[in-house]
Amino acid sequence: MRLMTWNVLWRFDPDWKGRQERILAVLKEVCPDVLGLQECWATDEHTQAEIFAEHLGMHAAYAASSLPPVPSPPEHPDQNGVRMGVGLVSRWPVLSTRHHALPVSHRQIAPVALEARMEDERGRRFDVLVAGTEWEPEYADDHLAQTRRLAELLAAADDSVPRFLLADLNCDASQAEFAPLAAVADDTWERANGDPRAVTLSSAVPFAPLEATKEIDRRVDHIVARGAGISVTGASTIDSPVRGLFPSDHFPVIADVELRVSSP
């Protein structure tokens, strides 16, 4: 099973339509079985997750709201009335979903984590959480509270059902906000001996948020796993532009895993 997580930069500049075409091109090449999306847009008609799922012949789910807050007023007409959320695209039908509000004390709207249960063609059930967390240094208390809540959600279920977190955590594995997750689950990158020099928010991207000094040039996007019978066979990222344009300010993270034990 190939898992993938990607912060796809909503409808922010530059050229969100051109970037979306390139994101889809990457997805068609990588062929993830399960994809978590952060900064995923939605209108009253459809969601970005649904558009990707339609092109890929897959299934989709969506939850809002999420971070960052949408610009007010909009920066351009294509942002008007568009929501910010997290999305899920899956090769297999989504059996059920739950939305979990993450703790906030500074912002008016809490970001939501999307939890979904799926079952593969061999009858093995597994759960996926998709989330994005706080990043502002002055809101570090919320950032830590949110990763603690995600750790609680990962640890809440029977370990016989594998659980995965696909998230932009806005911290790397060495920072304090990652510690609650490290206490209850495994970083698939570490288990697969991924490149220790890899970053997912890079100053090499021309439109990268250089003001995000806590996150820039770090591996801040993660696939975290908890449960029995999970084997991680590979981990990678894609850090090159596509036809002259980076698809997002974040690089995606890919993890190849095997579920060795059938879940009840």
Q: DSSP of 145-168, one letter per residue?
A: HHHHHHHHHHHSS-TTS-EEEEEE
Structure confidence at residue 228 (pLDDT): 86
Which are the contacts of 152, defined by CB distance < 8 A and separation ≥ 6?
Answer: none
**Burial status of residue 84 (CB atoms within 10 A of its CB: 0-12, 13-18, 19 or more):** buried
**What fold is seen in the domain 2-259?**
Deoxyribonuclease I; Chain A (3.60.10)
Instruction: Average pLDDT across each block of 10 residues of the chain; the chain has 264 residues. List them in order.
Output: 98 98 98 98 97 98 96 96 98 97 95 96 94 96 98 89 97 98 98 96 97 96 95 97 98 95 50
Structure confidence at residue 261 (pLDDT): 57
Inter-CA distances, 172 with 17, 156, 193, Å: 29, 23, 15
Structure confidence at residue 262 (pLDDT): 52
The residue assigned the tokens 């979990």 is: 100
The long-range contacts involving 50-55, CB below 8 angstroms and separated by at least 24 positions, are 51/20, 52/23, 52/24, 52/27, 52/87, 52/89, 53/89, 53/90, 55/24, 55/27, 55/28
* Cα–Cα distance for residue pair 92/108, rounded to 1 Å: 35
Structure confidence at residue 263 (pLDDT): 43
Model confidence, pTM: 0.96
Structure confidence at residue 151 (pLDDT): 98
Strand partners for 83: 42
